């Protein structure tokens, strides 16, 4: 088919224009990678402040330096809020959020609304790739009918693929280029085009037979982590009751050269994937009459961890003869993982909320998040507190929620009245440090 061959040729010789819809933690690094790989890239986003900042050569994600954006601009990258320019792009890659509703059911409205906004501008000879994590069947059940409502035939006029994002923000060992890329197509021709889209900028492309396989692959990856983290979090609860150091146990178990992979406990799950993705599968599984008890149990354990940490704060304050109500508590780190500014689903924020509801006066310190951002579920009008010997003396308890490298932990241990450590920073037991 001429449309397919023409498109593949353009992708291979890098004359194709790449359109990335959604310039967040997935879309921005993908845009920069395509630009670095020699393509002209148009990044689309509905936030004019974000596109303006990028076009001025400024990154709004801290672990992406301004220089990377500036290099991409020199290579032909630009950001736009004008969706009528969709027709200029040969490839359209959708990187928008897929959160949960309040009832923990999938909310794919960002995906469907985005596709609906693309429909008036679609044309023959384009490839559409969905990267947003979702339940198996989304591409075929939601995207394909919408696209074909325009009289464009998927697999002949236009090509549809699913290729799950695998970004790990702030991880220096793996980049967009080096992380293998799974791709599934709505047809064999769609898959061929999808491989051509990615194989010039990603070191290894992994083709699979269908979009549903690609969708399920991403869910399995994250459910694997969520379940194992839930297991080790539950082990931490048991070890705490038995006065056993769970980190010493994990380190000892990790010496086994086969059959064991170490996972580490924490205050709960954060980020856009692990707290959310398992429930995309459990919801879809129910439509097939399958109850995913194991996955849901792990989710319950992980969701309970912020409350466990709050209980440790109460214990730490009682050791000083104080109650939680009215006490000054400092949350150390509010990003969902170390050394990033990503706040999505951060368990530290849930801990802050529970502390506030119970009467504590809550502050936070996070060099990666100088001002508490607007969030969908939480509102704190706070700025990051400077950590000094003097400021630590003002707090009745310090809670380590995110173990950023920037913190001076020995100084904190010396000058904090009590510390609740949910990240295993302090391996040596001390009377005023409470592992959580």
**Would you please indicate which residues are annotated as catalytic (active-site) residues?**
273
SS3 337: coil
What b/e sequence results for 70-103 when a residue is b if at least 16 CB atoms lie within 10 Å of its CB, and e otherwise?
eebbebebbbbeebeebeebbbbbbbbbbebeee
C-beta separation of 408 from 387 below 8 A: yes
Q: Please check whether residue 422 is in contact with residue 411, taking contact to mean a CB–CB distance below 8 angstroms.
A: no
To which residue do tokens 């700025």 refer? 383
**How many CA atoms are closer than 13 Å to the CA of 340, on its beta-carbon side?**
19
Which two three-digit tokens encode residue 311?
């209980």
DSSP string over 114-163: HHHHHGGG--TTEEEEE-S---TTHIIIIIHHHHHTTTPPBTTTEEEEE-
Q: Which two tokens stand for residue 368?
A: 């990666």
- How big is the chain by its Cα radius of gyration, in Å? 24
Tokens at 249, concatenated: 């146990």
């Amino acid at each position: 088919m001429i449309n397919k061959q023409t498109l593949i040729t353009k992708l291979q010789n890098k004359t194709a224009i790449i359109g990335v819809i959604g310039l967040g933690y997935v879309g921005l690094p993908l845009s920069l990678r395509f630009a670095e790989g020699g393509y002209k890239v148009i990044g689309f986003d509905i936030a004019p402040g974000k596109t303006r900042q990028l076009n001025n050569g400024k990154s709004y994600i801290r672990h992406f330096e301004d220089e990377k954006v500036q290099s991409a601009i020199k290579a032909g990258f630009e950001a736009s809020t004008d969706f009528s320019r969709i027709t200029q792009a040969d490839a359209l890659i959708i990187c928008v959020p897929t959160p949960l509703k309040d009832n923990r059911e999938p909310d794919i409205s960002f995906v469907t609304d985005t596709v609906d906004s693309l429909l008036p501008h679609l044309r023959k000879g384009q490839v559409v790739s969905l990267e947003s994590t979702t339940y198996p069947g989304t591409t075929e059940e939601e995207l394909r009918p919408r696209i074909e409502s325009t009289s464009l035939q998927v697999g002949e006029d236009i090509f549809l693929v699913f290729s799950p994002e695998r970004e790990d923000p702030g991880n220096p060992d793996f980049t967009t280029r080096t992380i293998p890329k799974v791709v599934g197509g709505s047809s064999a021709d769609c898959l061929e085009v999808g491989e051509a889209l990615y194989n010039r900028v990603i070191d290894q492309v992994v083709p699979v037979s269908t979009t549903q396989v690609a969708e399920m692959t991403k869910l399995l990856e994250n459910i694997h982590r969520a379940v194992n983290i839930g297991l080790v979090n539950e082990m931490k609860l048991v070890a705490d009751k038995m006065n056993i150091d769970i980190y010493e146990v994990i380190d000892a178990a990790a010496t086994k050269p086969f059959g064991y992979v170490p996972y580490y406990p924490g205050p709960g799950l954060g980020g856009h994937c692990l707290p959310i993705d398992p429930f995309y599968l459990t919801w879809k599984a129910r439509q097939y009459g399958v109850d995913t008890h194991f996955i849901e149990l792990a989710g319950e354990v992980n969701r309970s961890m912020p409350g466990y940490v709050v209980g440790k704060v109460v214990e730490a304050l009682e050791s000083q003869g104080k109650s939680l109500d009215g006490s000054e508590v400092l949350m150390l780190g509010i990003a969902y993982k170390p050394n990033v500014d990503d706040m999505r689903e951060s368990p530290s924020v849930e801990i802050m909320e529970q502390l506030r509801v119970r009467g504590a006066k809550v502050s936070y310190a996070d060099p990666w998040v100088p001002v508490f951002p607007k969030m969908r579920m939480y509102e704190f009008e706070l700025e990051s507190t400077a950590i000094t010997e003097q400021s630590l003396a003002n707090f009745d308890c310090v809670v380590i929620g995110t173990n950023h490298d920037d913190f001076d932990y020995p100084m904190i241990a010396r000058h904090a009245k009590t510390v609740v450590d949910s990240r295993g920073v302090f391996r040596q037991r001390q009377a005023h440090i409470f592992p959580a």
